[in-house]
Amino acid sequence: MSAVSQIQRLTVSKLRARKGGDPIVCLTAYTAPIAHLLDSLVDVILVGDSAAMVVHGHETTLPISLDLMIAHAQAVVRASKKALVVLDLPFGSYEAGPEFAFAASARAIKEAGVGAIKLEGGCRMADTIAFLTARGVPVMAHIGLLPQAIQTVGGYKTSGRTREEWAPLMDDAKAVTDAGAFAVVLEGMAEPLAAEITKLIRIPTIGIGASPACDGQILVTEDLLGLSVSGRVPSFVKRYTDLNKIIGEAVASYAADVRARRFPAAEHTYALKQT
Ligand code: KIV
């Protein structure tokens, strides 16, 4: 007996074939309601380790565990049908070697049902990417600014402003491509370098702070929605709305209603209404 799924997600091979074509739209989600809203509008939903900062209030991405990433990914997969869902392997779950990376990826695929994993690092991760792809794990690579390396790099800096910085980053891009990654995130890169890398490699480049020269863009959804504790976003982010303000006003109205005892009883049952 065969089970025919109603879920027709974007596949990694279709995404890869978009190289040089229509720009690839990617956003992060960590919860079911956001995944549900994004699903029909984006190509890729990344369950980013930025969840550590955005949802859990940490200063960096480093503290989040694989268990927590899998729990977020389960919610995102449940609430989506079309987008390719990618789980970001968290710090400490894959760097010790290809076998560690495979064990973490296998958990992400089996327990959450994601279609691919993402990991940070260029040349130094090439063997791991080759090991994973040879064993059925689609890999999105991530080069340039690496938030998981914040403690060695010492800050969030753009790379490739001078030509002298280009060679190692171009080597990284070539290495992850040759190792079998189906796409690569370019984070915090000067436009001429991002353009050069995008021309050089045969897989799509997904920029974050890396200019429209890339084959697509990824942002942290809460950044473009204006939803955060600090109220600040990276300089390259266009903020499309101000949820901090909208939610603040709604909660203030609610608080005023409760204080004025304006809260009705349910009549008979908890009948649902469309909002
Ligand atoms: O964790 C994350 O959100 C990322 C990005 C590329 C947005 O890695």
Q: Please report, for the chain, the start and end positions of each structural domain, with discontinuous segments joined by +.
A: 12-270
Q: Which residues of 222-261 are buried (b: 16+ CB within 10 A; e: fewer)?
A: bbbbbbeeeeebeeeeeeeeebbeeeeeeeeeeeeeeeee
Q: Is the CB of 88 under 6 A from ligand 1?
A: yes
Pocket test for ligand 1, best of 24, 156, 187 (most atoms within 8 A of CB): 187
H helix or E strand, kind and range, residue 205: strand 205-208
Whether the Cβ atoms of residue 34 and residue 221 lie closer than 8 Å to each other: yes
Residue-level pLDDT at 4: 67
Beta strands 84-88 and 116-118, pairing class: parallel
pLDDT of residue 2: 62
Report the pLDDT value the prediction gives residue 84, as an integer from 0 to 100: 98
pLDDT in tens, the chain (275 residues): 566 667 799 999 999 999 999 999 999 999 999 999 999 999 999 999 999 999 999 999 999 999 999 999 999 999 999 999 999 999 999 999 999 999 999 999 999 999 999 999 999 999 999 999 999 999 999 999 999 999 988 778 899 999 999 999 999 999 999 999 999 999 999 999 999 999 999 999 999 999 999 999 999 999 999 999 988 899 999 999 999 999 999 999 999 999 999 998 887 667 777 77
pLDDT at 9: 96
- Is 187 among the residues known to form the active site? yes
Cα 256 to Cα 46: distance, rounded to the nearest angstrom: 38
Q: Which of 64, 68, 88, 143 to mutate to test the pocket of ligand 1 (most atoms within 8 A of CB)?
A: 88
User: What kind of fold does domain 12-270 have according to CATH?
Assistant: TIM Barrel (3.20.20)
Q: What pLDDT does residue 154 have? A: 74
